[in-house]
Amino acid sequence: MDLNEFAEEIGSSGPVTIAGLATRGGPVEGVRTVIAPVGIEWVQPAEMTVCCGAGTPVEDVDAALAVHGQSVAIPPSGTIGGALAVGHSGLRRLGYGPMRDSLLQTHYVNAGGEIVKAGGPTVKNVSGFDLCRLLIGSHGTLGFLGDVILRTRPRAQHEQWFVTTDDPESVVAQLYRPTSVLWDGTSTWVLMEGNRNDVESQAGNAKLRRSDPPGELPNGGRWSVPPSELSNLVGTGRFVAEIGVGIVHHEHPQPPRPIDPTIADLHRRVKSEFDPEGRLNPGVDVLSTE
Amino acid sequence: MSSLIDDLSGALGSDRVRSGPNELSLYRKDASNMEGSTSVVCLPETTAEVQACVRICNRHGVPFVPRGSGTGLSGGAVPLDGAVVIATTRMDQILRVDQVNRLAWVQPGLLNLDLSNRLNHLDLHFAPDPSSQQTCSIGGNVANNAGGPHCLAEGVTASHILAAQVVLPDGTVTTLAGEEPEPAGYDLRGVFVGSEGMLGVATEVCVRLTQNPPGVKTMLIDFASVEDGAETVSGIIAAGIVPAAVEMMDGMCLQAVEAYIHADLPVDSAAALLIEVVGLPHGLEADLDKIVAIAHEHNVKTVRVAQDEQERALLWKGRKSAFGAIARIKPNYYLHDTVVPRTKLPEVLAKIYEIADRYELQVLNVFHAGDGNLHPLLVYDAREPGITERVHLAGGEIVRVSVEAGGVLSGEHGIGLEKRDYMPLMFSEIDLAAQRSLRCAFDPEGLANPGKVLPSPASCGDIESVPEGVWI
């Protein structure tokens, strides 16, 4: 399916929702459902970019990039479009940066059924307002992603998880750019990437032991808290926190976060500009979606 | 109703509301070649004062232009039709530093390099490093989503802004995003960065801080042809190395800079690359060796690795003083900022030389080769009859060939006034309408920096400002 057919299916009237592989929640129930184009258009290793349909599985993109020693900072499972629409970064955000930095350009379909281009094909681009960032994490409420150009990154030559019972603050202070630091209140796990000798010598200096990554993460809730408040988590239940980032994989849902009424009002105004009839993913309230 | 100036003076005190001819003349331009007009300049010192200014503008129905240091190169801070200038230069404090989690809250008027210098003792810095970093402000960096040589590996400003307290165009104060990584809702922080003062005024900015690297290697390598240099850049990236910076200077630029700073630059070469790699010792050496090997595959003439901090500083001085050096050739220059795919660099550079020849202009190229971000400098003497027109025609062609090669209008300087009318080269009317929708959601009255970025009037009431009284 090409973009034009995708836009025609979405049309310009009536409620419509979009489905990926339902690994992050799935489409709105009881509403006409469309799916985004699937397939990799091209990989340009020397540009460090890849172009694919938003319905392409993340693992297909990973496999295509692995051939060139590259990857994208999009967490595994589901589709590229689903991952971007939900906007959750992966466990390596500390080292790779947030997922939102990966989307360079997209053609999305707006509430009027038109194909809109946002962003541009190059890694560096400040031409116009950054609608790509608006779409990431918008849960399909402002437009449905059709195709995307993503920034890739080189795969590290070597990676290794380590563990220690030292407190995470002192561990982080001793390391240069770890890829991930996780803490469950007792143990601190560290993922480091790069040259093998550098990884080993950093681990040695910080007295880290080689280990497996932490097992299955608690999945009762995904909390987002200021990283300086992570130490307050002790006693709230079982959790694994991303140190230096502030994401907490918790056994319980996050307590409600207060929303500034001005922010809520801005959200209403953005939604009503982009989707005045509220036809895209009706009923989804991005402010109350975890 | 009382006058605009009286109201502003009432809010800020008359000493910080300026409407004398000298100040109005100073603030009607930025570092671009454009001029507009302002009726009054405000110098607030607090968020509440910025808010008061914006509210007064609303009450009087007068547009306002947020301004940092005025170092922008695309006319983004040029006030049109007498707009009120709200300059944040006096809001220059570091408010709070969280060393452990590597972030800081700062005021928008703080200078980019001052921030990094003042954090140096903590082994931290703010990664975006525009060439104007000694004078440009963090607020201006946010407005333009500024770049710099070291954005190749670290990303541009948008990757380094966690949150911003802003005064919205209607005078409401709010905070977009926060220290938490995934705030609920739309990424309003993300759209605010790079919005060129059209979505409000940032009054506090939460910046991400970057660890100073434990090791740095800087080298200058030169080539007999621009193609060899450009292919070396692509080869490095394709080999999985993303250096901290990869800058290119062409022969003309090398000659101009050498005459200016005497750094023993390879003035007989067609192109030189200034490459910096950073990190831990083993990876650093391995990257350096690989880069040299790739350069040899592309007929490198000489490889000069800085032997100490002094030599490293000299090589960087050569790069960063290019703009000063060209003043020795001609008194004026016009700078473009397009980006092209790295692999198209040789082809597009050849076209740029051809365009300059055809218009009988001198062009120097000094640019961020690692991200394909061209900075062709057309040097000229504006007193020469007809030459300014030729510079504009040549510039227009450079922008066109860049976009045709799969590139974009601007990599780091922004659209502002200067490139506004080129936007249709990249975006259809439908694409632009979507950008206007965002603007309308934030600023239905169109009071925040109107007339910039978007080429035609927004349906929500943005009045098209044909830049009357604007002199390019």
Instruction: Return the residue in A93, A125, A197 with the most chain B beta carbons within 10 A, the one to mutate for interface testing.
Output: A125
Where residue B74 falls among pLDDT bands split at 50, 70, 90? very high
Nearest residue on chain B to A226, judged by CA atoms?
B180
Tokens of A120: 């541009």
Nearest to B442 by CA among A272, A244, A53, A64: A272
Q: What is the pLDDT of residues B210-269, one digit of tens each?
A: 999 999 999 999 999 999 999 999 999 999 999 999 999 999 999 999 999 999 999 999
B282 contacts in chain A (CB < 8 Å) = 195-198, 201
**pLDDT score of B458:** 54
Q: Which of residues 158-197 of A touch B (CB under 8 A)?
A: 169, 172-173, 176-177, 194-197
To test the contact with chain A by mutation, choose from B186, B198, B212, B443 the residue with the greatest count of A C-beta atoms within 10 A, namely: B186
Supply the Cα-derived Rg of chain B in whole angstroms. Answer: 22
Domain boundaries, chain B: 94-211, 216-324, 330-404
Chain B CB within 8 Å of residue A117 CB: yes
Residue of B214, B373, B430 with shortest CB distance to A124: B373
Length in residues, chain A: 290
For position B469, what pLDDT does the model report?
41
Banded pLDDT at B468 (limits 50, 70, 90):
very low
Please write the tens of the pLDDT for every residue from A44-84. 999 999 999 999 999 999 999 999 999 999 999 999 999 99
Give the least confident one: A124-128, A189-193, B462-466: B462-466
CB–CB contact A198 B280 (8 Å): yes
Bigger pLDDT: B323 vs A61: A61
Q: What integer is the mean pLDDT of B115-137? A: 96
- The architecture (CATH level 2) of B330-404 comes to 2-Layer Sandwich (3.30)
Residue of chain B whose Cα is closest to the Cα of A264? B185
Contact assignment for B211 to A176 by CB distance below 8 Å: yes
CA atoms within 13 A on the CB side of B62: 25
By C-alpha distance, the chain B residue nearest A258 is: B184
B326-346 residue pLDDT tens: 888 899 999 999 999 999 999
Q: How confident is the model at residue B2 (pLDDT cuts 50, 70, 90)?
A: confident
CATH topology of domain A3-154: 3.30.465
Nearest-angstrom CA–CA distance, B374 and B67: 26
Residue B339 token pair: 């980006």
B454 interaction partners in chain A (CB closer than 8 Å): 128
In which band, very low, low, confident or very high, does the pLDDT at B312 lie, cut at 50, 70 and 90? very high
Residue in A129, A225, A287 closest to B195 by CB: A129
Mean pLDDT in chain A? 96
Sign of CA dihedral B38, B129, B369, B220: positive
A220-247 b/e (C-beta count within 10 Å ≥ 16 → b): ebbbbbbbeebeebeeeeebbbbbbbbb
A-chain CB neighbours of B442 within 8 Å are: 266, 269
Tens digit of pLDDT for each residue in B7-49?
999 999 999 999 999 999 999 999 998 999 999 999 999 999 9
CB A252 within 8 A of CB A221: yes
Task: Count Cβ atoms within 10 A of the Cβ of residue A33 and give its class: 0-12 exposed, 13-18 middle, 19 or more buried.
Answer: middle
Question: To the nearest whole percent, how much of chain B has pLDDT over 90?
Answer: 92
Chain B within 8 Å of A204 (Cβ-Cβ)? no
Which residues of chain A are within 8 Å of residue B281 when distances are taken between CB atoms?
198
Compare CB distances from B174 to A46, A70, A263 and report the shortest one's residue: A263
Contact A247 B191 (CB under 8 A): no
Closest CA to B140 of B118, B162, B107: B107
How does pLDDT run across B173-194, given as a tens digit for each residue? 999 999 999 999 999 999 999 9
Residue type, A62: D
pLDDT at A224 over 70: yes
Whether B216-324 and B330-404 share one fold: the answer is yes
Please identify, in words, the CATH class of the domain defined by B94-211.
alpha beta
**What's the confidence (pLDDT) of residue B416?**
96
Which has the closest alpha carbon to A273: B360, B460, B426, B272?
Answer: B460
Q: What is the ipTM of this complex?
A: 0.97
CATH topology of domain B216-324: Alpha-Beta Plaits (3.30.70)
SS3 content of chain A, % helix, strand, coil (to 5): 25, 25, 50
Q: Residue B101 in 3-state DSSP?
A: coil
What's the predicted TM-score (pTM) here?
0.96
User: How confident is the model at residue A173, as a pLDDT?
Assistant: 94
Minimal C-alpha gap between A89 and chain B (Å): 9
Instruction: Judge contact between B172 and B444, C-beta under 8 A.
Output: no
**Model pLDDT for residues A109-166, shown as the tens digit of each residue:** 999 999 999 999 999 999 999 999 999 999 999 999 999 999 999 999 999 999 999 9
pLDDT at B465 over 80: no
CB contact under 8 A, A121 and B435: no
Inform me whether the pLDDT recorded for B120 exceeds 90. yes
Q: What is the mean pLDDT of residues B153-173?
A: 97
* pLDDT score of B457: 63
Give yes or no for residue B456 having a pLDDT over 80. Answer: no
Tokens of B31: 């570092």
Find all residues with CB under 8 Å of B357, minimum gap 6, and list them. none
Least confident of A2-11, B421-430, B441-450, B454-463: B454-463
Question: Which residues between 115 and 174 in chain B have a beta carbon less than 8 angstroms from any beta carbon of chain A?
Answer: 144-145, 147, 151, 155-156, 158-159, 168, 172-174
Structure confidence by residue, pLDDT tens digits, B268-285? 999 999 999 999 999 999
DSSP A57: B
DSSP secondary structure letters along B241-271: ---SEEEEEEHHHHHHHHHHH-----TTSSE
Model confidence pLDDT, tens digit, residues B376-393: 999 999 999 999 999 999
A134, B225, B344 from B458: Cα distances, Å: 19, 47, 35
Q: Count other Cβ atoms within 10 Å, centred on residue B47.
A: 19
User: Taking CA atoms, what residue in B is nearest to A228?
Assistant: B101
Please report, as a single letter, which amino acid is at residue B116.
S
Residue contact B339–A244, C-beta within 8 A: no
Kind of pairing, strands A115-119 and B210-211?
unpaired
pLDDT of res. B300 = 98
Alpha carbons B320 and B335: distance in angstroms, whole number: 15
What value does the mean pLDDT take over residues A274-287?
A: 97
Tokens standing for residue B200: 């409000």
Q: What percent of chain A has pLDDT over 90?
A: 97
Contact B409/A127, CB-based, under 8 Å? yes
User: What is the overall mean pLDDT for chain B?
Assistant: 94
The mean pLDDT value for B399-428 works out to: 96
Per-residue pLDDT averaged across A22-37, rounded?
94
Instruction: Give Cβ neighbours of residue A36 (< 8 Å, ≥ 6 apart).
Output: A6, A18, A20, A53, A54, A55, A79, A81, A144, A145, A146
Contact A129 B430 (CB under 8 A): no
pLDDT band at B323 (very low <50, low <70, confident <90, very high): confident
| pLDDT confidence of residue A117 | 98
Instruction: Reply yes or no on whether the pLDDT at A288 is more than 90.
Output: no
Can you give the pLDDT at residue B467? 46
pLDDT of amino acid B1: 64
The average pLDDT across B93-115 equals 97
Any idea where the domains of chain A sit in the sequence? 3-154, 158-250
> What is the pLDDT at residue A163?
98
Could you tell me if B244 lies within 8 Å of chain A, comparing CB atoms?
no
Chain B residues 392-451 with a CB less than 8 Å from chain A: 406-415, 419, 423, 426-428, 430-432, 434-435, 437-442, 444
Amino acid at B37: S
Task: At A144, list the tokens.
Answer: 């449905």
B187·A93 Cβ contact <8 A: no
User: How many angstroms separate the CA atoms of A207 and A197, rounded?
Assistant: 15
Does the distance separating the beta carbons of B434 and A110 come in below 8 Å? yes
- For chain B, the first-to-last Cα distance in angstroms comes to 36
